């Protein structure tokens, strides 16, 4: 498991619009397929972007869909007894992972201003190393 997978599994809550169609949420409103979908759950409002807004958002950010230029690591993990090293992911990989997380959050109607944090990146990389 990579540091990205660990970070994503901890950071990305997801509420499916399909759940809303099953009337799990109160106060659901649909105006048309291009409208922002609004759910109101006990005073908490979530606005989902339209298909067009999602497509426009995706065009603005590089999600790294199968186009990593070289190695995903700046430092490869080393699993030899006596010289273990958790390694580190390349900046390009980290940025594309961050863009993907923010894209998913945008689709889910959540704030999408998540930033990279060197301390958490280091912890996640070591966690994935221990679990490998």
The larger pLDDT score, comparing residue 44 to residue 46, is at: 46
Q: How many CA atoms lie within 13 A of 29 on its CB side?
A: 10
For 88-118, write each residue's pLDDT tens digit.
999 988 998 999 999 999 999 999 999 999 9
Kindly report the pTM of this predicted structure: 0.64
- pLDDT of 61 reads 84
Beta strands in 7-123 (DSSP E): 37-41, 44-48, 73-75, 88-89
Token look-up 């649909």 returns 30
Domain coordinates in residue numbering, the chain: 3-125
């Amino acid at each position: 498991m990579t540091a990205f997978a660990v970070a994503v599994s901890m950071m990305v809550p997801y509420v499916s619009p399909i759940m809303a169609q099953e009337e799990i949420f109160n106060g659901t409103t649909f105006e048309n397929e291009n409208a922002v979908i609004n759910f109101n759950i006990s005073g908490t409002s979530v606005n989902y972007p339209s298909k067009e807004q999602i497509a426009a958002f995706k065009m603005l950010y590089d999600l790294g869909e199968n186009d990593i230029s070289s190695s995903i690591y700046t430092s490869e993990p080393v699993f030899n007894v006596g010289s273990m090293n958790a390694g580190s992911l390349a900046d390009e990989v980290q940025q594309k992972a961050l863009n993907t997380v923010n894209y998913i959050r945008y689709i889910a109607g959540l704030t999408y201003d998540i930033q990279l944090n060197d301390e958490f990146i280091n912890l996640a990389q070591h966690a994935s190393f221990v679990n490998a």
